[in-house]
Structure 1
Amino acid sequence: MVMKNVLLVGAGGFAGSVARYLVALAVPFSGTGFPFATFAVNLLGSFLIGFISELALSTTLLSPEARLLLTTGFCGGFTTFSTAMYETGGLMRDGEALYASLYVAGSLAGGLACLFSGTLLAKLWQ
């Protein structure tokens, strides 16, 4: 059972990490230094984990294994706190304190808003 769960998390994490990389390739560099790709990935991941968790907890649409694959695995691999902090540090180092502050505040507020939006959408969808 434990090995099965490890493989589910690993497979989901692989898919999420690849998806994050593809988003980074697809989102053009803005020239402002603001990390739009990571920002978008973290907001989308927050929405997805809210949506998936609500479906898994309040319906029978997702098994515990599917929830593990999609939340811990995919969303865990897709979103990235460490990259967000690295990019925030880079903005600070480059003298972009305003962008750094907006990035952190926007990530937290936007992430929570997306989480709750995903949860609400899942409730409405049921």
Structure 2
Amino acid sequence: MYRAVALILALIAVVFFAVRLAGEPVRALQKPEVRPAPGAFETAGASGAEGEDAGGQAPDEGDLKIGSFEAPESVPDYEILEERIVERDGARAARLLVDTRSRAEEDFVLITRDLKARYSDYDAVSAVFTD
């Protein structure tokens, strides 16, 4: 008898929650972080310091770069242990194994900005950090 009462109460609870939740829209648990778009397109080889705004150029004209390619003023010590250059279908990429004693995220950002400036002529660069 107790099992039948418990089963009926459980069934009522399931039906109650199913009916209650059926009318509500699905909500995200956490809103995704939305970052601003990168800076204007820049023609490869052109510097933003020349006063020219490359934002008016069509994205399919010539070699384009997105964002800043200037090296930071001070960079933590690091060493490139392994460098593999890959060329395929006219695109050039570099895969790097980078050794550094730095542990702070800010240091990794400075190192990657320096690598971005050093390899600015490449289409893609990936770096793996080790200690």
**What is the TM-score with the length of structure 1 in the denominator?**
0.24
- Structure ranking higher in strand proportion: 2
- Structure ranking higher in helix proportion: 1
**What is the TM-score with the length of structure 2 in the denominator?**
0.23
Structure showing greater Rg: 2
